[in-house]
Structures are given as structure tokens and as C-alpha cells.
């Protein structure tokens, strides 16, 4: 068996970058390190996917098992430089942290191809993969993965920065011409130092060290049986016979001020909020399956489709996928298609997003557009205008078109968490800058209150009284809200939203022949009624929070409607009488056209089809408000000449 | 294993009711019996109560009633004390499971066959439901068993029925009237009883309880009050009681001001 030992890189006569210099390539990122760790390592794992099966992505915070602790000390200190700038020695000896327990944070991926290719950097590679060289040896290799998320691989320096020892172990299993091969190496990115050599002469070292099969001027990984035996001695997770992948073990991770419990919770949330587009179940095998472990216990990773706040983004993403009201954003001069955007609005209870989401800028109900490129990783949540109510969240997804991918990638800082047009030149700069302008315009249009939603269902509701009961949690309630508004009838106008259309066009009476039988049938009956339009929504007004239900007149004639509001109680019924001294919801009145009327009744002597009215109710905090609109009197217009 | 009691079919119970409703307690002692020709038992679910067990139960109840003046003297002021003691006795001694205690003919047998004299002594010229348990929450015995069931506090091993004294009957009826919602949760009712203040000077206790229940009904529409453990439920209920006290002492809110119906405020 080969004896693995440390090799410290001396400065070559021609000079080299020092370890400190490499660490600085990442800059001062605006988001915390654990979040960057997730983003960077998940991106690497995602780019390395084999395909045909989901990528397993696992984070495991654990300790070195006592039975392996001795092996860690004997194997991992072999040949280590005697310097206080190599802290692994102190940590493994238990001197620095007054404890011999060494924690490890392992980032694993499976269903990935592992780190393959040659194991020394001075071999010309042509088109061969060179993952090993890029990850273990070089710094700042240009990207080769097609449409990959990574650019120059600066992100990996986060792995060293997370370790108090500046040390990671890389354990990988990768296909080679001779079959799957295990490789194991230790890497330390410490500080540059000067050490006396065998002849007592001081020599400068870059601060980069490798642990493995040390040769004259570089280190080969332990491979095959050597790697397996060393991994077993160190207590590393073995690979199954037919699986490939990579484990990166961060020695003694520095998780900041958080307790370990908080830290793993944060990591789990960060996985959901940073990686959700590639976690979605709808992707089938082309997705990532995350897991988080802490000392042998599973920590649940929030499921994006079911997580409050995040599911609004998922809904927008689905719209984008299905082309449901998705729009293509254009640059006018020069003419260029930039990317596609879809938006989704949802009524959600007030909630506080987890810390991992807050660090990404989502501090209350989402009002953001998630920016992404072809790899479908979250670049950034771009904030839009605040919604009109704390309960009304909206979310968007903007995805760059494939042929624009390089432009947006070039605008990203090393941490891939923004698009900075100022770091571009010429047309590219214009494109990225225009993108943000277009998103802003689109949001201004979308975030406006609900008049925007004007599409009409074709099915008249025959009943004299329309049951419009809609339930939403009022004001500051902490309960869940549900809206029971009738769905749009099939055959509704659908995708084309009447933003610029004159109101009422959609439900114009018999004169229009555009839509055939359904419409003429209704005009024959000439029934007049009312139909609610969309869900009730909250509105901030000068007299406090109000609950508003939009409705549309169907048919022409004399229409008298009455609105009522009450509180729904535990058994599902409506409260008869409020407790003494407590409020009950009040029907303030109606809005119609430009006017308004106080009181619960609205008398429209000449109601016309498509006319909009809105019932305004003052809700009571901490209750569920039930609103009803009923038709008291409906007289259709007598057709002329009969 | 729980105990199954004889059940009296509706027709027989009605006949029996007509027979005893206008009689006095003294006359009815002769009519009491530990079995009835029409009686039947549940097919399964426990051990059938033998006649000596029924006789023993009768003697327990009669002894208790005798201490309160039965059969000669009317009950008078000690109604509340008699009811709570009887509730304890029934719940502790009958060995019933709730499923069995929800069966009306079982209670009809108890009131019309086993203890008709105590029944008419407690409710002279009783209306039908006091005997037949058409509404168990009004039955002479059934309502007491259920009150004990809902208020039994197993934490207090020394006196699990200490909460029975908290609410007078008409107040507890308000809780039972909402039995489909909040009345169905023993945890909720126990917490309410534990937090219920003794002193209601200056405030109408019955109305206050009604208001507290109304607020809990409001909350129950979106909050699962049944699912909370007692440690979390009690502060919630204490706060609700406090809110009601303040609201009741506060002057009624003025009517809705004549203001516009509000316009959306642009930011």
C-alpha cells in the first residue's frame, strides 16, 4: 500500500499565485457562505450529471467516528508542515478547539460522473474531460461544460474557506477506460509560509498543499485499492460497485455563530430556496434529489411545491414551461429577444420566510422575479414593487433565451448571484440593462390592482341567487386562507388578457357575432344577473384594510343586488350575533363605474352586460369573512319590437 | 372491559314514561326494577351488567338522593351539589365508554326502569326528554355523565372531578349546545374550566361565557383548537377570557361612521 503524505507547493522561480490570492477571487459575496456553498457545490454536481437518473445531492454534518479518529491523526498528519499556518495539525491533535472531536461537513453527489480525466495538469488534454485537473489542481480554468452553470470555478474556494483547517478531502469514483476508479486526495488552501528544508535553508511556499501519493513536484491521488483502504480507515462513505460520484469532506467546518442545528436547518432551507427549479418533481429523472443529515438524523428539505412563498414561484415557473401567459421580453434597439417571463399572483397569509430566504432578499410575502439561465439555477430574486396588501404575493420567473445565455453568464460575478450590466461592454451591456427595464415595466403592469383581470366566462349562472361565498382570512389572521370562488367556465377567453381592450368587449351582447352559438343563445334569453370576477382581495385604504369582491353584470336590464358579510365559525355556519363589544364585518357599500353607493343594496336600473361592480366589506381581524352577493330583483330588458 | 347496560326500546320507554310522569317519588319506588321485558343489550363491546350490579348502582344513587331529602323532601337549594356529586358517582361507578354513553335507550332504561323514583324526585313531572334521552344533554342522568366525562381531569389523581363545580348547569348547557364544534373537545372544555375566573362581580357570568364561546367559535374556523396540547391551549383561553372581560366593561363601540367606502391608497 502506498503511504499517503502531504506535499506543500513551493513558489516556482517564475512566481505563482498564493493561497491568499486564490481565496480572494470570490470577493466579498453579498450572501452568506453557507448559501454560496450550496449554490456552488450544487451547480458542480448538476453540471456533472450522468443523465437518465436523478442527481442525489446530500449534505451531511457529522463527526469523525471515534474508531477512525486515530487514523485521521496518523494518516492525515503524515508529512504535514510544522507551521502554525497549517492548522490541521492543531485541530486533529485537539489543541486548538480543546476537543479531539473533529466535525465534518460532507457534500456528496451521486448520479454524477465524478472527477475524471488526467491527474496532472501538465498533460495536454484536447477534448477529454478534465474535471480532476480543474477541481483539484488548477484555479480559474475556463468553462467547458456545455451550457453549464459554472464559469471559472472560483466558487470552489468556498469549500476551503468553510473549513477551519482550510482543508478538504475529495473522494470520487469516476469512469476511466479501465472501468470505475476510486480517487482520494486531501487539499489544503492555507497561507503562504516559509519553512526550513532538510538542509536548514528557508524556502517560500504558496500555502497550497495536497495529501496523497506525493511525487517529485505534484501529488497523485490515491487510486483503486489504496483509495478504498484509506477511505475505510478514515471512515468515509464507500461507493457502491456501480455508482460514480464525488464526496467533498470539509474538515471542521466553520458555521459562524449558528448552532449546528440552526446551521443544518439553514442549509436545508438554502437548498430549497436556491435550487428549487431543479428539484421539482415534474422534471422526472432530470432533477436533483436533495438530502440533509445531521449526526445520523435526517433533516427535512422543504418541498418547493408545498412551501409557502416558494410555491408561488413554482406556479410561475409552470406557467413559463407551459407557455401559459408567458411573455417574451424584447430589446427594441437593436432588435433582440432576451428571455421569457411568467408571473403568478397568490393570496397568502402573512408569513416570515426562513433565514435562508431572507438572505436572498425575500423578507416578506414574495414580490420578486426569479432570474435564471439555461441551467435553471436561481441567480437572484429581483425585487419588484411591493404588493398592495401583505397577503397578496406575486412571483415571477425570468429565463434567458439559450442564445443569450453567454451574455447573461458574462454579467455574473464569481458567485453567480446577480447580473451586473456594468461589467459588460457594448451591445451585451444594453441587452442586460434593457432586461431589467422590461421586467420593471412588466411588473408595474402586473402588480396594479385587480382591474387588470378582465376576462369573462361564457356560462351564465342561471340561479336567481348566486352563491358567491368566498372565504379568506381577514386582516392580521394567522390562519390559512382559502378562496372558494367559482372557477372560470370552460370556453372562457383564456390566455389573451384584455389589458388594453375596452371593458365590456368580452361580454358584448347579440350584436357581436364573433363567438357564435353560446353568445346568441344568451342574448335570446336576455336574463340579467351578476357573476363574481376572480377572488376577493385585500385592499389598503384610508380607512384601513378592506375586503373587495369584484363582480360583473351578465345580461342587460334592471338589477338589484344585495351584499352580505358575516363571520364563519368553527362548525362552518355563519355567526348569528357577535360577542358583546366585538365587531362584525360590515358591508360598506358598492363601487360601480366611477360612482359608489353606501349600504348593502345596489340598484342598477339600467345594468349593461360587462358592467363592473365591486362589493366592499370591512373585515374583522382574526376571523374568516364570508361574503355573499344575491340578486333581489332581475328584470331582463324586453327586446325591442316584441 | 367496559360495562353494557340494558336498553329500553323507544316504544316501551314511551309507555313507561306515560305511566310514571304524574306519579310521586314515593309511589314509584315500587315500580323500579332491575330488568324489563323489552330490554336488550348491545351485541358486543363489554360485559353485560348483571341484575345485582344494577341493584348496587340503584342503591348508590338512592343513598345519595336520600342524603338530599329523597323521597319525601324536594331537592331545593342543594341542586347543584346533588348534581355534581351524582355526576361523579355515575362517571366513576358505571364504567361506561363514550360510545355506550351516547346510546339513548340505555339512558331511558336507567331513568324509566331502574330509577324512576329518583328521576321524578329530581324533575317532578318531567318533560319527555329528561327520561327518554331524546336529547342526551337534557337527560336526568345522561347529561351528568357527559359533564363528568368532559370535565374529568386525570392530572389530578386525588380529585379528578374537581372541575365539575366550575360551571352551574345552565352555563354548562351553553357549552353542550355547541357540542358539534367546541363542545366536542374535552381538552378545550377542561382548559376553559381551569382558566375560568371564580369572581365575576359586576359582570353577567352566563353572558360572559356565551361571548367566550362565540370567540372560540370564530377562532375555531381557522385554528385547530382541538389539536393544541393543554399547555398551549390554556394561555389562549385565558387571553380570550380577558378580552371578553375588557370588551364587556367597555362601552359599546359606536355605530359605523358615515365615511366613504374607501379608495385604494396608492403607494
Bridge-based pairing state of the strands A167-176 and A179-189: antiparallel
Q: What is the pLDDT of residue A267?
A: 95
Chain A within 8 Å of B248 (Cβ-Cβ)?
yes
Asked if B221's CB is within 8 angstroms of A568's CB, the reply is: yes
In chain A, residues with a C-beta closer than 8 Å to the C-beta of B248 are: 580-581
Q: Across-strand partners of A170?
A: A185, A248
Q: Tell me what the mean pLDDT of segment A34-52 comes to.
A: 89
Q: What is the pLDDT of residue A257?
A: 85
Asked if A581's CB is within 8 angstroms of B250's CB, the reply is: yes
pLDDT digits (tens, 9 = 90+) for A498-509: 333 333 333 333
Asked if A581's CB is within 8 angstroms of B218's CB, the reply is: no
Asked if B265's CB is within 8 angstroms of A567's CB, the reply is: no
Q: How many residues does chain A have?
A: 642
A617, A599 contact by CB (below 8 A): no
Cell of A536: 376577493
Q: Across-strand partners of A565?
A: A627
Peptide bond into B71 cis (omega under 30): yes
In chain A, residues with a C-beta closer than 8 Å to the C-beta of B256 are: 586, 588, 618
What is the rounded end-to-end Cα distance, in angstroms, of chain B?
68
In chain A, residues with a C-beta closer than 8 Å to the C-beta of B264 are: 388, 449, 539-541
pLDDT digits (tens, 9 = 90+) for B171-209: 888 888 776 677 777 888 889 999 998 888 778 888 889
pLDDT digits (tens, 9 = 90+) for A206-248: 999 999 998 888 899 999 999 999 999 999 999 998 899 999 9
Locate all alpha helices (DSSP H) within A359-471, ordered by sequence. 405-410, 426-447
Bridge-based pairing state of the strands A297-299 and A392-400: unpaired
In chain A, residues with a C-beta closer than 8 Å to the C-beta of B216 are: 570
Please enumerate in sequence order all residues whose Cβ is within 8 A of that of A147, keeping only pairs 6 or more positions apart, or say none. A374, A375, A402, A405
- Binned at pLDDT 50, 70 and 90, residue A495 comes out as very low
A477: pLDDT strictly greater than 60? no
pLDDT digits (tens, 9 = 90+) for A516-543: 333 334 444 457 888 888 888 887 777 7
Separation of alpha carbons A250 and A170, rounded Å? 9
Supply the Cα-derived Rg of chain A in whole angstroms: 32
pLDDT digits (tens, 9 = 90+) for A116-132: 888 888 887 677 778 88
> Of B182, B218, B261, which is closest to A616 when you measure between CB atoms?
B261
User: At which residue does the C-alpha cell 482520494 appear?
Assistant: A184
In chain B, residues with a C-beta closer than 8 Å to the C-beta of A618 are: 256, 262
Q: Provide the shortest C-alpha distance from residue B172 to chain A (in Å).
A: 18
Please enumerate in sequence order all residues whose Cβ is within 8 A of that of A623, keeping only pairs 6 or more positions apart, or say none. A474, A477, A567, A568, A585, B218, B221
φ, ψ of residue B127 to 5 degrees: the values are -70, 160
Q: What is the pLDDT of residue A508?
A: 31
Chain A within 8 Å of B164 (Cβ-Cβ)?
no
Asked if A578's CB is within 8 angstroms of B214's CB, the reply is: yes
Q: What is the pLDDT of residue A280?
A: 93
Residue from B254, B262, B267 whose CB has the most chain A CBs within 10 Å, to mutate:
B262
Q: What is the pLDDT of residue A441?
A: 87
Q: What is the CATH code for A5-254?
A: 3.30.565
Q: Across-strand partners of A159?
A: none
Separation of alpha carbons A89 and A76, rounded Å? 9
Of the candidates A170, A251, A227, A219, the one whose C-alpha atom is nearest the C-alpha of residue A8 is A219
Asked if B252's CB is within 8 angstroms of A624's CB, the reply is: no
pLDDT, greater one: A331 or B202: A331
Separation of alpha carbons A632 and B5, rounded Å? 56
Asked if A568's CB is within 8 angstroms of B211's CB, the reply is: no
Cell of A562: 344585495
Separation of alpha carbons A28 and A39, rounded Å? 16
- Binned at pLDDT 50, 70 and 90, residue A309 comes out as confident
Q: What is the pLDDT of residue A274?
A: 94
A51, A286 contact by CB (below 8 A): yes
Cell of B264: 385604494
Q: What is the pLDDT of residue A105?
A: 95
- In three-state secondary structure terms, B94 is coil
SS (H, E, C) A551-569: EEEECCEEEEEEEEEEEEC
> Of B223, B248, B265, which is closest to A542 when you measure between CB atoms?
B265
Phi-psi domain of A146 (left: phi exceeds 0; alpha: psi -120 through 50; beta: other): beta
Helical (H) or strand (E) element with A544: strand A544-554
For A592, the closest chain B residue by CA position comes to: B261
Q: What is the pLDDT of residue A475?
A: 41
Q: How many residues does chain B have?
A: 267
Interface of B with A in 189-218 (CB under 8 A): 207, 210-212, 214-218
- What totals of helices (H) and strands (E) does chain A contain, helices first? 13, 27
Please enumerate in sequence order all residues whose Cβ is within 8 A of that of B13, keeping only pairs 6 or more positions apart, or say none. B105, B108, B109, B112, B131, B132
For A544, the closest chain B residue by CA position comes to: B262
> Of A480, A542, A624, which is closest to B262 when you measure between CB atoms?
A542
**Domain boundaries of chain A, sorted by first residue:** 5-254, 310-448, 456-636
In chain B, residues with a C-beta closer than 8 Å to the C-beta of A477 are: 222
Q: Provide the shortest C-alpha distance from residue A551 to chain B (in Å).
A: 17
Q: Tell me what the mean pLDDT of segment A589-607 comes to.
A: 85
A132, A223 contact by CB (below 8 A): no
Asked if A586's CB is within 8 angstroms of B262's CB, the reply is: no
Contacts 24+ apart (CB under 8 A), B250-259: B250/A581, B252/A580, B252/A581, B253/A581, B253/A583, B256/A586, B256/A588, B256/A618, B258/A598, B259/A543
User: At which residue does the C-alpha cell 402573512 appear?
Assistant: A350
pLDDT, greater one: A454 or B182: B182
Q: Tell me what the mean pLDDT of segment B145-156 comes to.
A: 89
Q: Tell me what the mean pLDDT of segment A415-420 comes to.
A: 85
For B184, the closest chain A residue by CA position comes to: A571
Q: Provide the shortest C-alpha distance from residue A451 to chain B (in Å).
A: 12
Q: Provide the shortest C-alpha distance from residue A318 to chain B (in Å).
A: 29
Separation of alpha carbons A230 and A249, rounded Å? 14
Chain A within 8 Å of B230 (Cβ-Cβ)?
no
Q: Provide the shortest C-alpha distance from residue B217 to chain A (in Å).
A: 5
Of the candidates A489, A589, A498, the one whose C-alpha atom is nearest the C-alpha of residue A548 is A589
- Binned at pLDDT 50, 70 and 90, residue A143 comes out as low
B66: pLDDT strictly greater than 90? yes
Q: What is the pLDDT of residue A30?
A: 77
Of the candidates A622, A617, A618, the one whose C-alpha atom is nearest the C-alpha of residue A569 is A622
Which stretches of chain A sit within 8 Å of chain B by CB? 385-386, 388, 449, 473, 477-480, 539-544, 546, 567-572, 575, 577-583, 586, 588-591, 596, 598, 616, 618, 622-624
Task: Kindly provide the residue ranges of all beta strands, DSSP E only, lying in A190-257, ordered along the sequence.
Answer: 193-196, 202-214, 219-220, 222-223, 245-251
Locate all alpha helices (DSSP H) within chain B, ordered by sequence. 10-20, 25-28, 51-67, 79-93, 98-101, 104-109, 116-122, 128-132, 142-151, 169-177, 186-195, 205-220, 230-249
Asked if B263's CB is within 8 angstroms of A541's CB, the reply is: yes
User: At which residue does the C-alpha cell 329500553 appear?
Assistant: B8
> Of B215, B256, B262, which is closest to A541 when you measure between CB atoms?
B262
Separation of alpha carbons A294 and A104, rounded Å? 10
> Of A449, A591, A624, which is closest to B261 when you measure between CB atoms?
A591
Of the candidates A59, A487, A570, A580, the one whose C-alpha atom is nearest the C-alpha of residue A269 is A59
A456: pLDDT strictly greater than 50? no
Task: Kindly provide the residue ranges of all beta strands, DSSP E only, lying in A440-488, ordered along the sequence.
Answer: 470-473
φ, ψ of residue A25 to 5 degrees: the values are -60, -25
Q: What is the pLDDT of residue B230?
A: 82
In chain A, residues with a C-beta closer than 8 Å to the C-beta of B221 are: 479, 567-570, 572, 623-624
Q: What is the pLDDT of residue B256?
A: 39
φ, ψ of residue A212 to 5 degrees: the values are 175, -145
pLDDT digits (tens, 9 = 90+) for B9-47: 999 999 999 988 888 888 888 888 998 988 999 988 889
Other CB atoms within 10 Å distance of the CB of residue A270: 28
> Of B247, B259, B265, which is closest to A579 when you measure between CB atoms?
B247
Please enumerate in sequence order all residues whose Cβ is within 8 A of that of A420, keeping only pairs 6 or more positions apart, or say none. A411, A412, A413
Separation of alpha carbons A280 and A267, rounded Å? 18
Asked if B261's CB is within 8 angstroms of A589's CB, the reply is: yes
Asked if A581's CB is within 8 angstroms of B248's CB, the reply is: yes
**Domain boundaries of chain B, sorted by first residue:** 1-163, 166-252
Q: A534-548, A576-590, B247-261: which has the highest mean pLDDT?
A: A576-590
User: At which residue does the C-alpha cell 411545491 appear?
Assistant: A305
Q: What is the mean pLDDT of chain B?
A: 85
Asked if A568's CB is within 8 angstroms of B265's CB, the reply is: no
Separation of alpha carbons B19 and A633, rounded Å? 57
Peptide bond into A297 cis (omega under 30): no
For A472, the closest chain B residue by CA position comes to: B222
Of the candidates A1, A15, A46, A22, the one whose C-alpha atom is nearest the C-alpha of residue A187 is A22
Cell of B121: 324526585
pLDDT digits (tens, 9 = 90+) for A395-405: 999 999 988 88
Separation of alpha carbons A389 and A550, rounded Å? 16
Q: What is the mean pLDDT of chain A?
A: 80
Q: What is the pLDDT of residue B250?
A: 62
Separation of alpha carbons B130 and B110, rounded Å? 11
In chain A, residues with a C-beta closer than 8 Å to the C-beta of B211 are: 579-582
> Of B220, B260, B264, which is closest to A388 when you measure between CB atoms?
B264
Q: Provide the shortest C-alpha distance from residue A130 to chain B (in Å).
A: 54
Of the candidates B188, B118, B181, the one whose C-alpha atom is nearest the C-alpha of residue B150 is B188
SS (H, E, C) A547-616: EEEEEEEECCEEEEEEEEEEEECCCCCECCCCCCCCCCCEEEEEEECCEEEECCEEEEEEECCCCEEEEE
Chain A within 8 Å of B175 (Cβ-Cβ)?
no
Supply the Cα-derived Rg of chain B in whole angstroms: 22
A348, A308 contact by CB (below 8 A): yes
- Binned at pLDDT 50, 70 and 90, residue A153 comes out as low
* DSSP state letters, A419-447: --GGG--HHHHHHHHHHHHHHHHHHHHHH
Of the candidates A441, A313, A432, the one whose C-alpha atom is nearest the C-alpha of residue A370 is A313
Chain A within 8 Å of B221 (Cβ-Cβ)?
yes
Q: What is the pLDDT of residue B7?
A: 94
φ, ψ of residue B264 to 5 degrees: the values are -60, 125
Amino acid at each position: 500500500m502506498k503511504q499517503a503524505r502531504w506535499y506543500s507547493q513551493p513558489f516556482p522561480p517564475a512566481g505563482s499565485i498564493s493561497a491568499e490570492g486564490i481565496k480572494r477571487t470570490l470577493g466579498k459575496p453579498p450572501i452568506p457562505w453557507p448559501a454560496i456553498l450550496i449554490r456552488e457545490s450544487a451547480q458542480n454536481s448538476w453540471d456533472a450529471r450522468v443523465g437518465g437518473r436523478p442527481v442525489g445531492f446530500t449534505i451531511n454534518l457529522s463527526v469523525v467516528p471515534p474508531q477512525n479518529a486515530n487514523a485521521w491523526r496518523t494518516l492525515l498528519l503524515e508529512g504535514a508542515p510544522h507551521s502554525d499556518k497549517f492548522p490541521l495539525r492543531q485541530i486533529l491533535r485537539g489543541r486548538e478547539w480543546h476537543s479531539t472531536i473533529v466535525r465534518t461537513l460532507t457534500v456528496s453527489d451521486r448520479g454524477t460522473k465524478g472527477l475524471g480525466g488526467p491527474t496532472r495538469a501538465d498533460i495536454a488534454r484536447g477534448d477529454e474531460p478534465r474535471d480532476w485537473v480543474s477541481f483539484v489542481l488548477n484555479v480559474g480554468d475556463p468553462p467547458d461544460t456545455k451550457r453549464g452553470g459554472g464559469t471559472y470555478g472560483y466558487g470552489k474556494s468556498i469549500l476551503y474557506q468553510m473549513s477551519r483547517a482550510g482543508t478538504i478531502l475529495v473522494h470520487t469514483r469516476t469512469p476511466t477506460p479501465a472501468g470505475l476508479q476510486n480517487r482520494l486526495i486531501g487539499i489544503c488552501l492555507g497561507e503562504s509560509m516559509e519553512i526550513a528544508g532538510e538542509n536548514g535553508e528557508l524556502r517560500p511556499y504558496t500555502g497550497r498543499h495536497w495529501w496523497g501519493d506525493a511525487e517529485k513536484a505534484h501529488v497523485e491521488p490515491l487510486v483503486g485499492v489504496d483509495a478504498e483502504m484509506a477511505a475505510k480507515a478514515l471512515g468515509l462513505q464507500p461507493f457502491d460497485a456501480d455508482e460514480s460520484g464525488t464526496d467533498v469532506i470539509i474538515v471542521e467546518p466553520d458555521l459562524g455563530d449558528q448552532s449546528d442545528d440552526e446551521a443544518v436547518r439553514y442549509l436545508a432551507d438554502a437548498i430549497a430556496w436556491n435550487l428549487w427549479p431543479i428539484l421539482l418533481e415534474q422534471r422526472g429523472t432530470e432533477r436533483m434529489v436533495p438530502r440533509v443529515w445531521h449526526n445520523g438524523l435526517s433533516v427535512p428539505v422543504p418541498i418547493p411545491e408545498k412551501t409557502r412563498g416558494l410555491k408561488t414561484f413554482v406556479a410561475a415557473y409552470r406557467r413559463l414551461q407551459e407557455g401559459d401567459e408567458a411573455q417574451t421580453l424584447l430589446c427594441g434597439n437593436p432588435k433582440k429577444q432576451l428571455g421569457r417571463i411568467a408571473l403568478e399572483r397568490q393570496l397568502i397569509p402573512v408569513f416570515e420566510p426562513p433565514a435562508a430566504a431572507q438572505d436572498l432578499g425575500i423578507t416578506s410575502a414574495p414580490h420578486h422575479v426569479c432570474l435564471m439561465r439555461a441551467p435553471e439555477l436561481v441567480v437572484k430574486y429581483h425585487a419588484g414593487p411591493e404588493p398592495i396588501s401583505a397577503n397578496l404575493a406575486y412571483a415571477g420567473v425570468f429565463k434567458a433565451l439559450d442564445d443569450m445565455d453567454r451574455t447573461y453568464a458574462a454579467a455574473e460575478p464569481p458567485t453567480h448571484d446577480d447580473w451586473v450590466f456594468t461589467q459588460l461592454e457594448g451591445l451585451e451591456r444594453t441587452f442586460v440593462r434593457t432586461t431589467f427595464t422590461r421586467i420593471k415595466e412588466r411588473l408595474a403592469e402586473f402588480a396594479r390592482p385587480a382591474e387588470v383581470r378582465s376576462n369573462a366566462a361564457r356560462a351564465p349562472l342561471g340561479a336567481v341567487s348566486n352563491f358567491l361565498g368566498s372565504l379568506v382570512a381577514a386582516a392580521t389572521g394567522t390562519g390559512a386562507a382559502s378562496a372558494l370562488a367559482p372557477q372560470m367556465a370552460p370556453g372562457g377567453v383564456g390566455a389573451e388578457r384584455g389589458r388594453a381592450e375596452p371593458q365590456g368587449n368580452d361580454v358584448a351582447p347579440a350584436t357581436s357575432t364573433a363567438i357564435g352559438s353560446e353568445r346568441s343563445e344568451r342574448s335570446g334569453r336576455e336574463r340579467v344577473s351578476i357573476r363574481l370576477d376572480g377572488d376577493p382581495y385585500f385592499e389598503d385604504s384610508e380607512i384601513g384594510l378592506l375586503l373587495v369582491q369584484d363582480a360583473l353584470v351578465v345580461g342587460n336590464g334592471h338589477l338589484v343586488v344585495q351584499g352580505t358579510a358575516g363571520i364563519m365559525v368553527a362548525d362552518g355556519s355563519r355567526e348569528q350575533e357577535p360577542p358583546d363589544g366585538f365587531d362584525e364585518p360590515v358591508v360598506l357599500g358598492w363601487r360601480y363605474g366611477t360612482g359608489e353607493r353606501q349600504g348593502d343594496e345596489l340598484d342598477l336600473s339600467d345594468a349593461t352586460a360587462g358592467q363592473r361592480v365591486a362589493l366592499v366589506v370591512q373585515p374583522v381581524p382574526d376571523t374568516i369573512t364570508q361574503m355573499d352577493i344575491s340578486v333581489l330583483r332581475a328584470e331582463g330588458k324586453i327586446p325591442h319590437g316584441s | 372491559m367496559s360495562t353494557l347496560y340494558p336498553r329500553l326500546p323507544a316504544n316501551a320507554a314511551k309507555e313507561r314514561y306515560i305511566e310514571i310522569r304524574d306519579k310521586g317519588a314515593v309511589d314509584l319506588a315500587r315500580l323500579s326494577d332491575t330488568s324489563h321485558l323489552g330490554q336488550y343489550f348491545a351485541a358486543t363491546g363489554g360485559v353485560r351488567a348483571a341484575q345485582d350490579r344494577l341493584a348496587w348502582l340503584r342503591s348508590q344513587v338512592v343513598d345519595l338522593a336520600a342524603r338530599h331529602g329523597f323521597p319525601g323532601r324536594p331537592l331545593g337549594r342543594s341542586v347543584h351539589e346533588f348534581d355534581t356529586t351524582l355526576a361523579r358517582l355515575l362517571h366513576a361507578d358505571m364504567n361506561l365508554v363514550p360510545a355506550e354513553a351516547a346510546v339513548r335507550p340505555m339512558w331511558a332504561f336507567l331513568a324509566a326502569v331502574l330509577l324512576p323514583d329518583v328521576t321524578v324526585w329530581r324533575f317532578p313531572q318531567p318533560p319527555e326528554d329528561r327520561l327518554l334521552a331524546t336529547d342526551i344533554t337534557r337527560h336526568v342522568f345522561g347529561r351528568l355523565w357527559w359533564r363528568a366525562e368532559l370535565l374529568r381531569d386525570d392530572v389530578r389523581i386525588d380529585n379528578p372531578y374537581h372541575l365539575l363545580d366550575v360551571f352551574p348547569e345552565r352555563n354548562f348547557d351553553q357549552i353542550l349546545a355547541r357540542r358539534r364544534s367546541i363542545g366536542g373537545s374535552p381538552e378545550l372544555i377542561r382548559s376553559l374550566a381551569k382558566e375560568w375566573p371564580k369572581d365575576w362581580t359586576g359582570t353577567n357570568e352566563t353572558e360572559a361565557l356565551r361571548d367566550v364561546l362565540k370567540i372560540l367559535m370564530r377562532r375555531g374556523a381557522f385554528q385547530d383548537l382541538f389539536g393544541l396540547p393543554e399547555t398551549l391551549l390554556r394561555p389562549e383561553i385565558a387571553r380570550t377570557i380577558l378580552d371578553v372581560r375588557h370588551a364587556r366593561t367597555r362601552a359599546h363601540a359606536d355605530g359605523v361612521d358615515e365615511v366613504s367606502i374607501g379608495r385604494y391608497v396608492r403607494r
